[in-house]
């Protein structure tokens, strides 16, 4: 059995290596709302990219079975990510602001012919979320500063 002496160099090296890990949140768990928003954004992006690629892969107006399965799997992942996000209630200002930004970006990515419907759906969803008990009270000035593309909902 060998004994390794703890030296000053070893302690400083360990502190340098572990310091950034401990500062970035290893000590505290991340906010689940922010993680769910990041997951939903990634799923939306993947589904949008799969849609653009499927339009370019259509041979004679028909998708291949493999690509259709890929498109269906991205749609399922997006549905699950959004369902998880819709089931959560923002309890902090950061989570509320991130949720408003997420819906604002969803409206900005909507097709021009469906932008009005996307805006209405986003406002309805945000009114439902912020009306839940325990939700962070997001005031009108914060709403206006966060989301220029979404109108301020009526109380």
For a pLDDT cut of 90, what percent of the chain falls above it? 15
Question: Beta-carbon neighbour count of residue 11 at 10 Å?
Answer: 10
Residue where a domain stops, chosen among 54, 72, 88? 88
Which residues pair with residue 62 across a beta bridge?
59
Per-residue confidence (pLDDT) for residue 81, from 0 to 100: 92
Domain count, the chain: 2
* End residue of a domain, out of 88, 105, 136: 88
Q: Which residues contact 118 (CB under 8 A, 6 or more apart)?
A: 106, 107, 110
Q: Which of 109, 103, 117 is nearest to 146 (CA)?
A: 103
User: Does 126 fall in a domain?
Assistant: yes
Q: How does the average pLDDT of the chain come out, rounded?
A: 76
Gyration radius (Cα) of the chain, Å: 22
Per the structure, the complete domain to which residue 61 belongs is given by: 32-88
**96, 58 in Cβ contact below 8 A?**
no
Residue 106: inside a domain: yes
Instruction: Give residue-wise pLDDT tens across range 20-73.
Output: 555 555 545 678 889 999 999 999 888 888 877 776 766 666 777 888 888 888
Q: Is residue 19 part of a domain?
A: no
Shared domain for 72 and 110, answered yes or no, is: no
In this prediction the pTM is 0.69
Condensed to tens digits (0 to 9), the pLDDT of residues 82-102 reads 999 999 999 888 888 889 889
pLDDT number for residue 5: 54
């Amino acid at each position: 059995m060998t004994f390794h002496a703890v030296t000053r160099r070893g302690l400083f090296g360990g502190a340098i290596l572990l310091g950034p890990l401990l500062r970035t949140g290893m000590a505290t768990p991340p906010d689940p709302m922010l993680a769910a928003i990041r997951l939903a954004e990634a799923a939306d992006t993947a589904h949008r990219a799969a849609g653009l690629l499927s339009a370019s892969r259509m041979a004679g107006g028909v998708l291949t079975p493999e690509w259709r399965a890929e498109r269906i799997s991205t749609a399922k992942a997006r549905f699950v990510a959004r369902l998880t996000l819709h089931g959560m209630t923002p309890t902090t200002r950061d989570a509320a602001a991130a949720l408003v930004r997420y819906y604002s970006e969803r409206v900005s990515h909507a097709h021009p012919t469906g932008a009005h419907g996307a805006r209405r759906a986003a406002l309805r969803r945000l009114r439902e979320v912020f009306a839940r008990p325990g939700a962070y009270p997001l005031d009108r000035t914060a709403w206006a500063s966060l989301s220029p593309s979404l109108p301020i909902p009526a109380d």
